[in-house]
């Protein structure tokens, strides 16, 4: 589903009243405080839950979801992934994108040569992100997320235009 974004995984329960522990995939774990609902995916279907309460423990988000009032019910959600409707998220600043929207985009040089598709984005501490571009032969090219290299990102047309500076 293109209109949802994966934001975490349920890894455990907490207490006897149905609270769940979640590993957040978001850079901003406090994003959950701004949400009123989440979607939990079981096999190929999504179920929407209303968020009653959000708290934190170490690096995990603790959620109390409406209708989940026992540890037994919460246990059934363990290892499932949590999603949010993109329409429920705040608008991103200019030139900021969700990784899920970048994966799979075609990457072209300014001269029109196709380098492949965005296969992954590496989040490096104390450095720029790195776009991993994979061609049809499985060869990888690593492109730093800097203005000198990333010239245009066009989510609508599913393509990125890059300038291969010396050394790339």
CATH assignment at residue 104: 2.30.30.240
91: pLDDT confidence band, cut at 50, 70 and 90? confident
What gap in Å lies between CA 55 and CA 62, rounded to an integer?
Answer: 5
pLDDT in tens, 104-153: 999 999 999 999 999 999 988 888 899 999 999 999 999 999 999 999 99
Shared-domain flag, residues 12 and 77: yes
Shared-domain flag, residues 105 and 77: no
Residue range of the domain that includes 156: 99-162
Number of domains in the chain: 2
114 within some domain: yes
Burial class of residue 167, CB neighbours in 10 A (0-12, 13-18, 19+): exposed
- Quote the tokens at residue 168: 């790339």
168 within some domain: no
Tell me what percent of the residues of the chain surpass a pLDDT of 70. 98
Radius of gyration of the chain from its Cα atoms, rounded to whole angstroms: 19
| CATH number assigned to the domain comprising residue 40 | 2.40.30.60
What residue has token string 């899920």? Answer: 100
168: pLDDT confidence band, cut at 50, 70 and 90? low
Q: Which residues on neighbouring strands pair with residue 10, listed in sequence order?
A: 22
Sign of CA dihedral 136, 145, 128, 9: negative
Residue 5 has pLDDT above 90, yes or no: no
- Quote the tokens at residue 69: 């009032």
pTM, two decimal places: 0.73
What own/partner pairs with CB < 8 Å and gap ≥ 24 does 135-143 have? 141/115, 141/116, 141/168, 142/168, 143/107, 143/168
Shared-domain flag, residues 65 and 120: no
Shared-domain flag, residues 128 and 81: no
Indicate the length of the chain as a whole number: 168
The maximal CA–CA distance of the chain, rounded, in angstroms, is 61
Shared-domain flag, residues 70 and 114: no
Shared-domain flag, residues 55 and 11: yes
Mean pLDDT of the chain: 90
Shared-domain flag, residues 82 and 122: no
The conformation of residue 26, written as its DSSP 8-state character, comes to S
Shared-domain flag, residues 16 and 51: yes
């Amino acid at each position: 589903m293109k209109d949802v974004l994966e934001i975490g995984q349920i890894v455990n329960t907490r207490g006897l009243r149905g609270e769940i522990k979640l590993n957040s995939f978001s850079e901003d774990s406090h994003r959950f405080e701004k949400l009123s609902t989440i979607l939990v995916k079981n096999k190929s279907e999504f179920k929407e839950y209303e968020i009653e309460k959000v708290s934190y423990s170490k690096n995990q988000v603790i959620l109390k979801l409406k209708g989940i009032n026992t540890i037994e019910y919460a246990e059934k959600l363990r290892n499932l992934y949590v999603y949010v409707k993109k329409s429920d998220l705040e608008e991103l600043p200019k030139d900021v994108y969700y990784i899920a929207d970048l994966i799979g985009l075609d990457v072209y040089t300014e001269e029109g040569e196709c380098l492949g598709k965005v296969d992954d984005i590496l989040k490096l501490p104390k450095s720029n992100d790195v776009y991993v571009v994979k061609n049809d032969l499985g060869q990888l090219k690593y492109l730093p997320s800097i203005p000198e290299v990333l010239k245009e990102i066009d989510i609508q047309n599913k393509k990125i235009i890059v300038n291969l500076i010396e050394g790339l």
